[in-house]
Amino acid sequence: MKKIISVVGARPNFMKAAPLHRAFLKYQDQVQHLICHTGQHYDLNMSKVFFEELELPKPDFYLGIGSGSHAEQTAKIMIEFEKVLLKEKPNLIIVVGDVNSTVACSLVAVKLGIKVAHVEAGLRSFDRTMPEEINRLLTDAISDYLFVTEESGVQNLANEGIDESKVFFVGNCMIDSLINYLPKIEKSDVVSRLNLEAKKYIVVTLHRPSNVDEPSNLKEIFFQFTKLADGYKIVFPIHPRTRKMLEQSGLTDIHKNILLIAPIGYIDFVNLVKNCALTLTDSGGIQEETTYLKIPCLTLRDNTERPITTILGTNKLIGTKYNRIYDEVIFTLQHDQKDSQIPPLWDGGAAERIVEVLMTSLNQTNQ
Ligand code: UD1
């Protein structure tokens, strides 16, 4: 019997791990698939609700790391995860995405001689000021299996000299979750609960340090939102980091059409996106979800590690000239949507392809 431990830590990890867990159930007689939650995100609405909605079992290991500086968080995860690996001695660990938990756990495993599979490998923003870019580069450099969501990832890994026999273009686990839960998502009544009208509101999510940590940026962003709010309702589920920065910035007089709400669960969030006129975000995953749902997405960043969403999908990078937000939103709303396509292999089968590769390889090498 083989043993595999999948690591999750922060909100965007949960929807990538859930389809993997489901796919491993088919191999229950050959592999024990365990889940380790580092506790990087710990609030009920940043973590537990996703386990429930995505039908993930209670984690087998909970490291309870919580917040801290990058060094503190990464180091604490490493110390606690090493204890788990020394006790459990898995054949392989799986890490997903690009958060601090991803790089911390990969590093621990590789030093203990345990194989690492990275799901969502190869994405590059080429912006090394982003903590996630460092996490991606380092994790990919030491992984044994690199599972890629879009063709740019294959090219980036080749350019970095990573042996192509380790690289598998399999599609997108986040989209696996979206497709799997679409029937449930469609039944959510969140639009009426929030007194919104389909296609008459804008969804906003912002949490990147580069956008929200500087009070003057936040002030300009809210100035632009206030102009938009005369014509559209704006629903903004606020990430704890953004909430904290907003409180510190002294911005209190918020237009009544800007609904600042607590972070919401997966099912309600995707329903909100599916029914909105437009999404404005700095998240990576939402660029992909809007592309799949064919909802216009404006990304408040100068670059994206997910270029396929701008080439084939509905995503447009509008940069960080915050005083352009109003004009960009109005322009997009007033013009016909560009013809978009769903990227190759974003078909709901990525996790199954990943698990097949891993099981075949583990059985062949008999590690
Ligand atoms: C992390 C990831 C980022 C990802 C994002 C999704 C890294 C480097 N960053 O950023 O790539 O897009 O998650 O949300 O791994 N907090 C709470 N409750 C929580 C979690 C966080 O209050 O459950 C607050 C804490 O004050 C914390 C702050 O949010 O200091 C930031 O959390 P952290 O995990 O450091 O990074 P994120 O900004 O969430």
Q: What string of pLDDT tens digits covers the 367 residues of the chain?
A: 999 999 999 999 999 999 999 999 999 999 999 999 999 999 999 999 999 999 999 999 999 999 999 999 999 999 999 999 999 999 999 999 999 999 999 999 999 999 999 999 999 999 999 999 999 999 999 999 999 999 999 999 999 999 999 999 999 999 999 999 999 999 999 999 999 999 999 999 999 999 999 999 999 999 999 999 999 999 999 999 999 999 998 888 899 999 999 999 999 999 999 999 999 999 999 999 999 999 999 999 999 999 999 999 999 999 999 999 999 999 999 998 879 999 999 999 999 999 999 999 999 976 5
Closest Cα to atom 35 of ligand 1: 67
Same domain, 155 and 11: yes
CA 86–ligand 1 middle distance (angstroms): 28
Contact partners, residue 266, CB within 8 Å, separation at least 6: 14, 15, 49, 50, 53, 54, 177, 181
Cα–Cα distance, 227 to 70 (Å, whole number): 36
Closest Cα to atom 26 of ligand 1: 241
The neighbouring-strand residues paired with 94 are 6, 117
What is the side-by-side strand order in the sheet with 315-317?
A: 258-261, 233-237, 201-205, 278-281, 297-299, 315-317
Same domain, 92 and 24: yes
Ligand 1 test: best mutation among 11, 14, 16, 41, most atoms within 8 Å of CB? 41
Residue 65 belongs to a domain: yes
Same domain, 241 and 325: yes
Catalytically annotated residue among 207, 239, 255, 335? 207
Same domain, 15 and 133: yes
Told to judge if 239 belongs to the known catalytic residues of this protein, a careful annotator would answer no
Same domain, 53 and 110: yes
Overall domain count for the chain: 2
> 314 and 343 in contact (C-beta within 8 Å)?
no
- Residue ranges of alpha helices (H) inside 188-254 are 190-193, 209-212, 215-228, 240-249
Residue 300 belongs to a domain: yes
Residue 278 belongs to a domain: yes
- List the helix and strand counts (H, then E) for the chain: 16, 13
Residue 68 belongs to a domain: yes
Same domain, 324 and 354: no
Residue 178 belongs to a domain: no
Ligand 1 atom showing the smallest separation from residue 207 Cα: 38
Cα–Cα distance, 197 to 217 (Å, whole number): 29
Name the residue type at position 104: A
Same domain, 359 and 217: no
Closest Cα to atom 13 of ligand 1: 10
Same domain, 82 and 197: no
Residue 76: phi, psi to the nearest 5?
-65, -40
CA-based diameter of the chain, in Å? 64
Residue 86 belongs to a domain: yes
Which residue segment(s) compose the domain that 271 sits in?
183-334
Same domain, 163 and 260: no
Same domain, 360 and 287: no
Residue 223 belongs to a domain: yes
CATH code for position 58: 3.40.50.2000
Name the residue type at position 21: H
